[in-house]
Homo-oligomer: A and B are copies of this chain.
Amino acid sequence: MTAQLIDGKAIAADIQAEVAKRVTALKQRGLTPGLAAVLVGDDPGSVSYVTSKTEDSAAVGIFSETFHLPESTSQEELLGLIADLNADERFHGILPQLPLPSQISEHAIIDALSPAKDVDGLHPANLGRLLRGETGGALPCTPHGVLQMLNRTGNDPAGKHVVVVGRSTLVGRPLAVLLSNKAKGANATVTICHTGTPDIGRFTRDADIVVMAAGRPNTLTADMVREGVVVIDVGTNRIEDASRKRGWRLVGDADFPAIREKAAWITPVPGGVGPMTRAMLLVNTVSAAERTLA
């Protein structure tokens, strides 16, 4: 068996088209959804992420503005900007690009966001509502994107055993909660594995669906999955590759070439989960704008 590829780019494009329609409808009611991106310092990765997000926003008709502060910004200064943006009616979403410089507590900044404008879905109030089984607010982008990928390829997780490898606040923990929700497109039996699991293969071999969010190449090998498994790979790791001009390439947490011969479905890296995370940010922003009219 050679797995079908789960094309994150194509699914993300579908979602962007849906968002664009919702933006048009809002504009007809006189409301332009707005996203404030906050960038502190000049880390090339962060600059590139913020650029992509504002370009994505423009493509679907969302107004965006980037607030670029120097690396030396103090926590108080950044909190001041967040307070201003919380009060600024042009913006329905605020996106502090992580990581922040070491003199600033990321939790302090996230906690200062108005939960209604927290389009990353990382404010404790939003995470708490998720743990309470509510899905009406902003959901963390990557876990929400994973759910969309499964459901939009006919891989409804209901009644399936899903093994999530990784317990980060950004991905693993909220994803396990989302997948086990008593809700359409969820309702899975979920196992969370992590660095404290002595034998991850014991669990993944029993899985109908494996989601890798460990952040380490080759954490999932072909002997650790059964024929016909569905693999979603959230990992994006740089590994040396002398054959490439730049000297490296991106790989996920799964041994893609070998598992592809055994799985029913698998996401490529890049081009899998990454575009979905970006698309779900647009969904959260337009949803936040819609809620201001509700």
- Interface residues, chain A, CB within 8 Å of chain B? 107, 123-133, 158-159, 161, 167, 169, 173-174, 176-177, 180-182, 187-198, 203, 206
Contact = CB atoms under 8 A, between A and B. Distances in A.
A246 to B, nearest CB: 34
Contacts of A167: 133, 180-182
A67 to B, nearest CB: 25
Contacts of A187: 194, 196
A123 B125 CA distance: 8
A72 B176 CA distance: 40
Contacts of A198: 159
B182 A195 contact: yes
B194 A189 contact: yes
A2 B282 CA distance: 57
Contacts of A180: 167, 173, 176, 192, 194
A155 B192 CA distance: 20
Contacts of A197: 159, 189
Given A182-B167, A192-B190, A198-B159, A173 B131 contact: yes
A189 B204 CA distance: 12
Contacts of A174: 131
Contacts of A188: 196
Contacts of A127: 124, 127-129, 131-132
Interface of A is mostly: mixed
A222 to B, nearest CB: 21
Contact of A191 (B124, B131, B189, B195): B189
A128 B127 CA distance: 4
A209 to B, nearest CB: 14
A123 B131 contact: no
Contacts of A129: 124, 127-128
B133 A123 contact: no
A194 B176 CA distance: 13
Contact of A177 (B131, B133, B206): B131
Contacts of A193: 189
A189 B192 contact: yes
Contact of A131 (B128, B161, B182, B192): B128
A160 to B, nearest CB: 9
Nearest to A190: B192
Contact of A125 (B124, B177, B194, B206): B124
Which 8 residue pairs are nearest across A and B when measured between Cβ atoms?
Answer: A124-B128, A128-B128, A127-B128, A187-B196, A191-B191, A127-B131, A189-B197, A124-B125
Which residue of A133, A190, A193, A195 has the most chain B CB atoms within 10 A of its CB atom? A190
